[in-house]
Amino acid sequence: MTRVGVLAFQGDVREHLATLSEVGVTGVPVKTLAELQSVDGLILPGGESTTIAKLSRIFGLFDPIKDAIAAGLPTFGTCAGLILLADKILDGIEGQETFGGLDVVVRRNAFGHQTESFEIDLEFRGIEGAPLTAAFIRAPIIESLGDSAEALATLPDGRVVAVRQRNILGISFHPEVTDESRVHELFVREFIG
């Protein structure tokens, strides 16, 4: 059975584990190297990217995760998870680290205070049927993409909120909080296989 890890230091780990069981794979909370090495793919949850990066360092997983992603581990990041996958971030804190792998520039907290959280229906390349209900919670935006990164979803104003590149899928929003399992399904089907 396919095992998908959820990096479990901070953030909406439980929601991802629940969505994984909906799509019929085994979700594994990952906090140790042995757990990381036991999974076929990895989810970086929403939460606080600075905290997740720091705790990954403290618990000795930062470099192993970075190396595993670079070596091709299928990896899916939502919101803070997208920030952690970006090669370059804007409005990070001083010295904020990312695992990288996505050739994109991501701006943290891109929607400011007025509209910190909202839901909107989106079309998503590769997902058939009704539009996705996407929840944006202090969400980042993908400001620019390199040639090898492909945009999968945009807001009505054209800003990019989902991207894929090689073994990596990154999205600004949280399908795991709106009962939307089709992005997880796509990750399992197309990235893990």
Q: HEC profile for 25-49?
A: CEEEEECCHHHHHCCCEEEECCCCH
**Closer residue to ligand GLN (CB): 37 or 117:** 117
Total binding residues for ligand GLN by CB under 6 A?
11
Token couple for 10: 């901070």
H or E, element range at 106: strand 102-107
CB-wise, 173 or 187, nearer to ligand GLN?
173
Residue 173 CB, shortest distance to ligand GLN, in Å, is 9
The DSSP code for 131 is P
Cα–Cα–Cα angle for 161, 165, 171, nearest 5°?
25
- Closest to ligand GLN by CB, 40 vs 108, is 108
Among positions 72-111, residues that touch ligand GLN (CB under 6 A) are: 79-80, 83, 108-109
Active site residues: 79, 174, 176
Residue 21: CB minimum distance to ligand GLN, A: 21
Decide if residue 138 touches ligand GLN (CB under 6 A): yes
CA distance 129 to 123: 9
Residues that bind ligand GLN (CB under 6 A): 46-49, 79-80, 83, 108-109, 137-138
